[in-house]
């Protein structure tokens, strides 16, 4: 009987396979989670890039909201020519123009394009709002948004 117990203790042929079977799902789950996080970070980068392109469009085209939106939604290709190896960016951008009038400590914001009854010259501002979605490999979906407010000096 003692010889059988010694022989079982010395045989370790299947130990590595059992350890691999235990740890492999954890490692695969970690790799999938890292890929999912990487895709979400890429989607957030796409949304922020659209917002920056919207600001650049304001600098290039000024008050022309349609030209700014077209510039930002085409990845800036309208300025640089079409580059075929660019990855498509699914985020979209919206541009709103508004005016701000500062009277003392009071700030009045108006989206009307007419001049405000303002003692000082009203400031012209643009709100660039980019949005997109990120779909998780685990079935969830996230709304991503980035908003920039830019004052244009005249």
The string of pLDDT tens digits covering residues 74-93 is 766 655 555 444 456 677 88
Angle formed at CA 25 by CA 22 and CA 30, multiple of 5 degrees: 130
Q: Check residue 5 and give its pLDDT.
A: 61
Q: Check residue 29 and give its pLDDT.
A: 93
CA dist., res. 51 & res. 71, Å (int): 11
Say whether pTM exceeds 0.85.
Answer: no
Q: Check residue 23 and give its pLDDT.
A: 95
Q: How confident is the model at residue 116 (pLDDT cuts 50, 70, 90)?
A: low
Mean pLDDT of the chain: 80
Greatest alpha-carbon pair distance for the chain in Å reads: 104
CA dist., res. 93 & res. 71, Å (int): 10
């Amino acid at each position: 009987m003692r010889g059988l117990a010694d022989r079982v203790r010395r045989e370790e042929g299947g130990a590595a396979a059992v350890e691999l079977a235990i740890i492999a799902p954890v490692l695969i789950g970690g790799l999938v989670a890292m890929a999912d996080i990487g895709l979400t970070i890429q989607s957030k980068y796409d949304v922020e890039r659209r917002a920056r392109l919207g600001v650049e469009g304001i600098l290039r085209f000024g008050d022309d909201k349609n030209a700014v939106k077209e510039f930002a939604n085409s990845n800036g290709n309208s300025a640089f020519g079409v580059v075929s190896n660019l990855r498509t960016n699914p985020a979209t951008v919206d541009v709103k123009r508004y005016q701000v009038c500062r009277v003392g400590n009071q700030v009045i914001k108006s989206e009307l394009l007419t001049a405000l009854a303002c003692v000082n010259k009203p400031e012209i501002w643009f709100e660039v709002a980019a949005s997109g979605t990120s779909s998780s490999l685990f079935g969830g979906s996230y709304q991503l948004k980035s908003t920039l407010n830019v004052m244009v000096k005249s």
